[in-house]
Structures are given as C-alpha cells and as structure tokens.
A and B are shown apart, each in its own frame.
Chain A
Amino acid sequence: MIVNRVTLLGNKDHGKSTLIGNLLIQTGSVSEQRINDAKKTSKKLGRQFEPGYILDSFEEERLNEMTIDTTRAQVKYKKTGFEFIDVPGHEELMKNMLSGASYADFALLIVSAKKDEGITEQTKRHLFVAKMMGINMLVVAVNKLDAVGYSQGRFDQIEADIRGYLGKIGFRDDKVSFIPISAYNAENLVKISPNMKWYRGKSLIEELISMSKSRKEKKEGELLISIQGLFDGDERSVFGKILSGNLKKGESLVSLPNGKGAKVVDIFVSGSRKGNAGKGNVVTLKLDKSIGTSVRGVILARRRGACDSGSIIHALLLITKPIKGNLGVKINGVEARCKKMTVNKAIDIATGEAKTAKRIKPLNAGSVELELDRKVASDLFERTPEIGRFLLYANKSFAGIGIITN
C-alpha cells in the first residue's frame, strides 16, 4: 500500500495532537493497549482522557500538553493509507515544522474557531512554508466548533479569512477544502456529526481520501541521476538515485557540472543486475571510465544542458534564524560556500506582502541571488525538486531553506 503523507499545520493549542489521537481511535488504527495507556496517564495526571497522549509520549509533553519535535502516526481507512506528521506549533520550532513538511504529499491545517484563537500569524507562516515547499493541496479543519455553539457564522468567517490569505500566496481555491470539526468530541472526523446540520460536506477522513485520489504524479522528465558516492572506492562504480527519466544499459552519459563523459556498462537496482532503471530507483552503475574521485552531488544526464551547472543560484529563501557569519548551502548532498548574497525582495510571510529590501528578517522569506564558491548541478524546483531545493547554513548551523526559481 502506498501511504499518503500528510503534514499537520497550525498553532499551538489548536488541537493537532487531539485530532490525530481521535482519528487513530475512530479508524481503529491504534491498539487498545496504547489507548488504555493514554487513558491511564490522563487519569494519573488528574485530567479527562486526552487522545493526544497516544502521540505525545514524552513525560514533559504530557505534563505540559505540548508536542516535542515531529512525530508520525499511520491511519488506514477504506483501503487508503495515511501517515500523519504531527509538528510542534511553537514559533521557535520552525525547523521541526520544516522537517515534517518536507516529507508530505499534502497538508492538514487545524485552526481553532474559539473567539480568542482563530487564524494567527503562526498559522499563516505554516501555510506559506507549506506552499513554498511544493505542497499544493490542503484540508482545513476548523476545530472546537463545540466551543462556539457549532456556529456556521464563525466557521464561514474563518474560511473567508483563510481563503483571503491563501489567495495572496498563490494557493488554488479548488485545491483547498474546509471542514468544521470538534477534534475532542470526534465530530466530523470519521462520522458526520448531528450537531452541524448546516454542513453538507464530507467527513475529514473522506475528504482526505478524495484528496489522495486527485494526487497526480509529475510528468516524466528527462534522465537525471544523482550520484551518492563510490562503491568500494572504485571510480568506475557509483551509487546513485534516478531522479527522473529512464536509463538503459549501454547509454553514454555526461556528468554535470564537470562535463566528463562515461558509458553505463552495467546497472544494478537494489543490488540486482538489470537492463534498465527508472525514476526513484536506487542504483549502482558500472561505468567504462572514471567521472572523477569526488562524485557526490554530481548529476549524470544525456546532455550538458539537462540541468544547470553554474555557481549562481536564484532562489526563494526562508530564514529560520538571524543570519550571521559564513553562509553556506547544501544542495543534492554537496556543500558549497556562499560568497555573496543579494536580496532582491523581502516577503513578510504573515501577510504575504513582498517589497524591495536589502535584508530578510528571521522567520520571513525573500527572493535572492546567491553566488557560490563552486559550480553545482541544480534545476528549477518545479522541474526537478530534488536538485531545486537546498538547505541554508550560517556558521555551519541550519538557518533556512531555499527553492530555486527563475
């Protein structure tokens, strides 16, 4: 079964862990033992049963009712598999949110309908980042409807607010759906609740199933093979992964950025000899000659122009902390020092507004030009995401992500 990966987005205390906890229970995806364990803990802490404890396993998570780092939980319903990636909603933990969202096929946003909660800056940041990372399908669960008298007016208002922001950052209207829920009471998660008769849509899990069915595989691009390293120090035997296209034994390829050519003498997929290999395959290639000793991050392709091989990169950058000291990037497994960064525009990701600026503030984005100290193989994110994105480091410490743009 192919599992759909869904990242959770949303503010702290808006009910992410509770929602997943109850979804696990309602779909029968968690053992009774684990439910009982969460019940016992709730009792010991003198609290009502908290379904979120099924996911939050650390003592301090349960005591402080918070999620530490990302966690994953799998749900199976009507022959469709989902893996929910729960991420902390705290502002300072943006890097965890990024780590979780980087593996997702689509996103589930949880927003509390309570009067003093609703859509926050943090929520907007999460949406911006998800969109930037290539997530273009979204389900919005408007939570805690029970706390606002199941008010349709409040639900409609939140939907309008969020749609307004999503429009600004380029989310397509028809790729977003809204569902009123109560995560704690498990209303509209799997079963439709009688308390919200005004809502005529699907339950949350049914909506996620529809979304998984409308997922489209990317069009087949031209052959690009990312090289991981040498097998056993042999320069004519390389480990790699096929990012796009199909490879046949006997083909002549060129390595980028260095331009050296070699013929593929033999192909092994997962250790077994094959005549060809396709997108996603992890391969060992025997070559007729060396393409160099330092092969990590090299791209093998059929022609020189198959991807970019320069040292200048244009990108949309998201900064997670103040940038100080030496800048570097890590792209497709290789590190490069950034000699110069020119900011063209800064984007306030809480409003989606872009303006000309010289600096990007932490937890915000901007369009930049980077000059690297060496040539790297890269491509536009929308064409080949694997080599169209990179990690940004400041003094060797993670400081953000970049998406390669025109």
Chain B
Amino acid sequence: MIKQDLKQLEERSIYIMREAQSNFKNIAALWSMGKDSTTMLALARKAFHGKVPFPVVHIDNSIDFPETYQFRESLAKRWNLDLIVAKSQIKPEMSGFACCGANKTVALKKVMKDYGFDALIVSIRRDEHGIRAKERVFSPRNKNFKWNYKNQTAELWDNYSSDEDSDGHIRVHPLLDFNEVDIWNYIKKEKVPMNPLYFSRDGYRYRSLGCTHCTTAVKSNAKNIDEIIKELETTKEEERHGRDQDKEKAFVMEKLRALGYM
C-alpha cells in the first residue's frame, strides 16, 4: 500500500469540498463515525476555517456499536456539528445485502427527500474496492439513486461538475485519492479524534466499521495509530475483509451501489 503525500491529498480534498460548496445549494455529508468520514469532517473544518458548514447525516439502524454512539455524541458536541440522525427500521431476519439495501438506502432516500439535499459528501476511497476505484469526484445519481456507471460524466483536470443535468443528486467524493494508510497517517498528523473500536482489545480490532450485525473484528494487536500503520504495511488481507456485504457473494457491492448504497 503506497503512502502518498499528505499535504497534496489534504489540499486536493479541501479544493474538492470548496468546489462542492460553490456548485451546490444544499449539501449534506454522510457521517458513519468511522475513520474516513471523521477524517472528512476534520478536512471540512480546515476548508471552512473551523466550522463544518453543512449538516452531517448519520443513517442510524439502531444496531451500531455503543462506542460508536458515544463517539457520535461527544464529537458532535465538540465540533458543533449540525447532526441529523436518520433512523432506519431494521428487521432482525435481514442481513448483508438485504439489510444494507433495504434499510440504509431507504433511510438515506427519505432524508435526502425530506431536506431537499442536492449533493451528498461521501467518504469513499478508490483503494477500498475495485468498483469504488471507478468513481468520479462528482458522481451523479438519478432520482432512484441509481449510479449510471456505464455512462459516467466526463471529469477532466479539475472540472468536477457534472455535464448532464441530473434529476437526482450528486455524490461528492473528497477522499477518493486517499489510501487506507494515508487516512491513518493523516489522523496521526492532525490528531483527529477516533472511534476506540479501531484499536485492539483482547487481540482483536475493527479495521472497517459497519453495524454490529455485519462487521466482524480482525485479529490484531495494534493498540495505537503507529501500530495500525505498521500492521497495514504487512497485511495480506483486504480492508473490508470483516464486512459481510462484500464477500457474501460475488458482485454484491455492485448491486448495492446500483441501488444507491454508498
């Protein structure tokens, strides 16, 4: 995994968020309280001089980890976030594809409609998944939240705006160029507050965080950021190894994203 130049990555993310701010009227950001979207908020605070200027949305299926809820409350207060909690109802028999598709996506659609957001900042990265590697920085979704990956907009140089009029909304991806290890290096450099679940307890830690039903901890003794960075240099596993939705069966991610999942 390549460690990239943090200064360059930071400036690019800031530039993208400012582009989003100039291009759209009503932006929101998704915040899962995970490492990527929390880093995005830290970058937004830099881009807009100390204040995250848009609402942050948590799609809450009520089965996130207790640590995650605690982290949400404390950081929302500390950073004075305009937090919107969008509750989704989960059915106990559902898991993986059905759960993420039916619950998270439905709740997201509702909150987007209720507030009339025209753009949504999502903290995905290209190195997470082969399909995410194909994403654009500004990526249109139609009114059914469908991603038309076969006919994406031209995105040249620093011109991010979509070329066709979209009847849905635009996803904005300021962290697309970051690698997993860059996120951790950035967290270290900027002392970004982190969800404690990422750090090893009793020989296990979460490398990628979802809800309690579908996320499993990976074996790890990495108790702090330096140890995590070291671990990433030698790991042979994929970051989302502990996420059911990706491995349940082939092409699940593709289908989820087609339904509007992040």
8 Å CB interface, B116-146 against A: 126-127, 129-131, 133-134, 136
* B130 near A396: Cβ-Cβ < 8 Å: no
User: Which of chain A's residues have a CB closer than 8 A to the CB of B254?
Assistant: 57-59
Give the contacts of A48-100 with B (CB-CB under 8 A).
54-59, 68-74, 76, 81, 95-96, 98-99
A310 at the binding interface (Cβ < 8 Å): no
Whether B79 is near chain A, meaning CB under 8 Å from some CB there, is: no
Complexed CA–CA distance, A391 and B134 (Å): 21
B156 near A98: Cβ-Cβ < 8 Å: yes
CA distance A393 to B251 in the complex (A): 35
Binds B, one of A116-124, A254-262, A277-285: A277-285
Report the Cα distance A115→B30, complex, angstroms.
53
The dominant DSSP class at the B interface is loop
Which residues of B12-38 have CB atoms within 8 Å of chain A's CB atoms?
Answer: 12, 14-15, 18-19, 21-22
Report, as a range, how many residues of chain A touch the other chain: 35 or more
Chain A interface, DSSP helix/strand/loop, else mixed: mixed
A99 and B154 form a contact (CB under 8 A):
yes
What 1/0 flags go to B67-79 for Cβ under 8 Å of A? 0000000000000
Of A3, A34, A103, which is within 8 A of B238 by CB?
Answer: A34
Known: A69-B152, A229-B22. A397 touches B163 (CB 8 A): yes
In angstroms, Cα B46 to Cα A73, docked, is 29
Residues of B within 8 A of A393 (CB): 163
Is B113 at the interface (CB under 8 A from chain A)?
no
Any B CB within 8 A of the CB of A165: no
Give bound CA distance, A68 to B152, whole Å. Answer: 10
Instruction: Say yes or no: A58 contacts B4, CB within 8 Å.
Output: no
Residues of B within 8 A of A397 (CB): 163-164
What residues of chain A have their CB less than 8 Å away from a CB belonging to chain B?
1-3, 31-34, 41, 44, 54-59, 68-74, 76, 81, 95-96, 98-99, 102-103, 228-229, 231-232, 239, 241, 268, 270-272, 280-282, 284, 296, 330, 333, 386, 389, 391, 393, 396-398, 401
5 residue pairs, one from A and one from B, having the closest CB atoms: A57-B130, A271-B46, A229-B22, A102-B156, A398-B163
- A selection of 29 A-B contacts at a CB cut-off of 8 Å is A2-B5, A34-B130, A57-B129, A57-B133, A57-B134, A57-B253, A68-B134, A69-B150, A71-B134, A72-B126, A74-B2, A76-B2, A96-B154, A98-B156, A99-B152, A99-B155, A103-B157, A228-B18, A270-B46, A271-B14, A271-B50, A280-B11, A282-B11, A282-B14, A282-B18, A296-B22, A333-B22, A397-B164, A398-B153
